[in-house]
Amino acid sequence: MADTAAKREADSVGTEDLSQKAKRAKADSENGGGEKEPESKNILSDFKTSSILSESAREKNIFIHGKLADQEAVVILEKTPITEDSLAELFSGSRLKLQMRNDIYSTYLLQAPPQLNEIKTTVVCPATEKHVKKYQRQESFLVEEKGEDYESITLPYIQKQSFSVQWVYNILEKKAEADRIVYEDPDPEVGFVLLPDFKWDQKQVDNLYLIAITHQRDIRSLRDLTSEHLPLLQNIFHKGKEAILQCYKLPASKLRVYLHYQPSYYHLHVHFTKLGYEAPGCGVERAHLLADVIQNLQSDPQYYKTRTLYFPLRADDGLLSKFKEAGRL
Ligand code: DD3
């Protein structure tokens, strides 16, 4: 959805260059996002819950493991924030059930009209063991990875795993999510696609979360970067920030631009999140500011080949076992 509420809000303020670009990208892609489910069809109507992987009353989400037509599936449900532009309709169009009244205080349950009471739903199906594990609450351990450890432990492990990044290629080839692309630089060397991450519902700029995915396919992670990649990184940094300013009216001073190490998928990508929004994975143990990455490579072309990097691994992560076997933990 190129024309989201967050964008519409930004559009009404000023320039439209980027939304036009996004619309062109949308027009260019013939049926790019794949078939949309007809609104009447509910593929979750016969979902069978096996177990709750995790839940958070504070975050108002729940991660469920179950079966969808005999296939393993993970379903993520999350209540979305209340936005200012929905308030008038919320107040006028709801049923209000009184719970209690006491002096000047009263509490109610407000039954909102269905279109204002939507639950963001993500379905992974067929889900692998890895998907199921990913959402189970787990203890984490900080790993110290020397340059040599990367070569002898981490790299062989990620090569053997051959994690599928088909969904990334679908985005780059406009076979999926083409209508969600916010900006694209098509250059094969320094180009990238900028689009909203799955985690963002795009209803408010407050929790803005975009990812820039590189057209180059052979860069796995931070560890593969050398000064050779500076033009690519600078291009993403510069054009990504510019696109977000155009499209969402958010200046660079409101953005946190970073890479994950370890990443959750081994195709180079950069995260753009709004400052003040504590996005999952934006802590010091996993996030590397793109500005720092660029400077480090400028002062030492081999910086990320030689430095010791620290990152957390979950108790059930196969890579953690490899570090233990190697006596590095
Ligand atoms: C993923 C990391 C991966 C479950 C879930 C997400 N942004 C994605 C497919 C399409 C996407 C993402 C793996 C997978 Cl919920 C397992 O993320 C994606 N499209 N992060 C976008 N826009």
Q: Please write the tens of the pLDDT for every residue from 8-46.
A: 666 554 433 333 434 344 343 333 334 455 666 899 999
Which domains are present in the chain?
81-117 (no CATH), 138-325 (3.30.428.10)
pTM of the model: 0.88
Q: Is 131 in the pocket of ligand 1 (CB under 6 A)?
A: yes
Tracing tokens 């379903």 back to the chain, one arrives at: 75
Q: Is 265 in the pocket of ligand 1 (CB under 6 A)?
A: yes
Confidence (pLDDT) at 7: 66
Spatial distance between the Cα atoms of 19 and 282, rounded to a whole number of angstroms: 28
Tell me the best of 198, 200, 201, 268 to mutate to test the pocket of ligand 1, counting ligand atoms within 8 Å of each CB and taking the most.
Answer: 198
Structure tokens at 266: 């081994």
Structure tokens at 259: 């890479």
Q: Whose CA is nearest to atom 4 of ligand 1?
A: 124
pLDDT digits (tens, 9 = 90+) for 129-139: 989 999 999 99
| Residues annotated catalytic, as ranges | 269
| Residues of the chain under the 50 pLDDT cut | 1-2, 13-35
Q: Which residues of 192-225 are buried (b: 16+ CB within 10 A; e: fewer)?
A: bbbbbeebbbbbbbebbbbbbbbbbeebbbbbbb
Q: Is 167 in the pocket of ligand 1 (CB under 6 A)?
A: yes
